Structure 1
Amino acid sequence: MHGDELPLAGIGDEAGQSLADQLEALRALGWRHLELRTVDGLALSDLDRARARAVADTVLDAGVTVVCLDSRIGNWSNPIDTPFAGDLAELDTLLEWCARLGTRYVRIMSYPDAGLTEPEWRHRVFDRVGRLTERAERAGIVLLHENCSGWAGSSAERMTRLLDEIDSPSLRLLFDTGNGVAHGYVAYDLLAEIADRVEHVHVKDAVTTVAGVRYTLPGDGQSSVADCLGLLLATGYCGALSLEPHLAVVPHTGARDDRCARERFVAAGKRLRRLVDRELLDRVTW
């Protein structure tokens, strides 16, 4: 397989708030795969129906495939004590988006703690994720739990336990190469324990500094990005590699610089292409 056949994608709002800017960044890279999180600064489930239809039509008319929809369910801003009705409503809306766009995946996390004991936190996470997964399964959609915020965010044992407890083909894992640096674990070591259950990948890189985490071009940081991607491919991974560089946009901190967002996104995309073409394909027997 040549590198051009790998499904390289990107989380579009890291390149620009408007859909036009997001699609233009993909065109600059020669990519045809998009991951949608926000448009015009609004989460997908907050767009009114007319705007949602217009966004979907524009994406489809551009010949772009949407590989995943990123929800706020269980993320850093949505701890376990927030009302669950909002999550159910968001998922129902995103399931409509999936049907309209032909998208199979919705990203979730597993709810930050809210002062509960660990057993109670775990019980509530299993209950919520189980109920969400039932809805997704009825719709033929797969929820992807990311190694980020929440009960199972940074532990391979907890991720495995969550999947085993729910026991549904509609709950799998999303692995982000750069989250280990931010959350204090070695991403490659975690990946080695879960690689066979990963169905989607985010690519970013980072370094720790005295001022905190600083994000870098893929391959320039401490995340062992090439090694992680090599391990995934060697174990049979065939999903998308979706760029989330955090170079101009860092959602969980509110940082955003639209003056350079597209330029930095495209630079990170070109680096990812080089990692795939020059460092990975010669390691893997396809």
Structure 2
Amino acid sequence: MPSASETPRLAGIGDEAAPGLPGQIAAVRALGWNLLELRTLDGVPVAETDDAAFARAAERIRAAGVEVVAVAAKIGDWSRPATGDFAVDLAELDVLARRCAVLGTRTVRIMSFPSGGLAEPGWGRVVRTRMRVLADRAEDAGLVLAHENCAGWAGEDAARVLDLLAHVDSPALRVLFDTGNGVAHGYDAAAMLRPLVEYVAHVHVKDAVDAPGGDTAYVLPGRGRSGVDECLRILACHGYRGALSIEPHLHLRPHLRGTGGDPGRGDAAGFVEYGRALEETVRRVWRAEAVR
């Protein structure tokens, strides 16, 4: 059983705190943490940031003594259907391979391509083929592609995730489990996690409730119906040693850009409050597992 002293390291997706890197670093530091997950810099995805701006960002991160635990890619996400140009995803991976080497991280968040109108079994075939190519390139570059339970062919179904992992058969493809996506996508998060836990390389923590009009509202961890405590318990029982990265979504919801909505912007105070709530949740769950 895990001991209470063996809790995972805590991180945060920086743009949930602030658009600019100085604010992202400050928010992580305000929590006493030194792990940052990068998604955008001043609203621009990491792979699309120009070389000079990226170099300045990497130097600022190094000078602050902050470690980048993961980088978010748009590869296979809600904006990249299976009918789209795969060359775009390959080009992004090539850029991120170079940039992750500079940042000192190996983990790249990906998804598994919305259908773009393709029906089964064609959709699945396209995704399996693309993922094998991506994983081969990632393995050569020393990267781990962490597939999130969100958009795409394997986003909502543990059996499809296992199928994809078996088909690709590479240590460069693993699972990024987000505790809060089940509410928005209509599945039980803990039930999905159980068969996948041994493949989890990275975790996003958020919590959610149903909102009027079929929408989803996001809340502090443990206050929603995502089963955050149960998901963390499953991870603790399995001896998870990766990072837990907060993605509050209290003030920023990036996917709304895809529908022309206002995604909002990061909020440092909400980010810090969220981090404190997660610290308490982690202490409680890991302490309980340690005395079982």
Tell me the TM-score normalised to structure 2 length. Answer: 0.94
1:137 corresponds to? 139
Contact 1:206 1:213 in 2 (8 A): yes
**C-alpha separation in 2, matches of 1:284 and 1:201:** 20
Structure 1 residues 195, 285: closer, same or farther in 2, change over 3 A?
farther
* Root mean square deviation, CA, Å: 1.5
**C-alpha separation in 2, matches of 1:52 and 1:133:** 25
Deviations along 1:53-89, one digit per CA (max 9) or x if unpaired, are 1111111111111111100001011111111111111
Deviations along 1:28-47, one digit per CA (max 9) or x if unpaired, are 11110000000000011111
SS at 2:210 equivalent: strand
**C-alpha separation in 2, matches of 1:89 and 1:139:** 13
**C-alpha separation in 2, matches of 1:32 and 1:4:** 17
**C-alpha separation in 2, matches of 1:151 and 1:278:** 35
Counterpart pick for 2:226 among 193, 204, 223: 223
Alpha-carbon deviation of 1:3?
5.7
Alpha-carbon deviation of 1:210?
2.2
SS at 2:75 equivalent: coil
Deviations along 1:102-131, one digit per CA (max 9) or x if unpaired, are 101001000000111211111111111111
1:235 corresponds to? 238
**Size of the alignment, in residue pairs?**
285
1:245 corresponds to? 248
SS at 2:184 equivalent: helix
Alpha-carbon deviation of 1:285?
6.1
1:265 corresponds to? 271
List runs of 5+ in structure 2 lacking aligned partners.
Answer: none
Counterpart pick for 2:281 among 245, 250, 275: 275
1:187 corresponds to? 189
Q: Find runs of 4+ consecutive structure 1 residues off by over 3 angstroms.
A: 1-5, 254-258
1:25-64 paired onto structure 2 within 5 Å: 25-64=27-66
**C-alpha separation in 2, matches of 1:195 and 1:161:** 15
List runs of 5+ in structure 1 lacking aligned partners.
Answer: none
Contact 1:3 1:276 in 2 (8 A): no
Counterpart pick for 1:112 among 107, 110, 114: 114
Higher relative CO (CA 8 A, sep ≥ 6), structure 1 or 2?
Answer: 2
Structure 1 residues 47, 55: closer, same or farther in 2, change over 3 A?
same
**C-alpha separation in 1, matches of 2:118 and 2:252:** 32
Alpha-carbon deviation of 1:256?
4.0
**C-alpha separation in 2, matches of 1:3 and 1:274:** 14
| Residue type of the alignment partner of 1:213 | T
Alpha-carbon deviation of 1:6?
2.8
Contact 1:234 1:284 in 2 (8 A): no
**C-alpha separation in 1, matches of 2:24 and 2:117:** 38
1:203-214 paired onto structure 2 within 5 Å: 203-211=205-213, 212-214=215-217
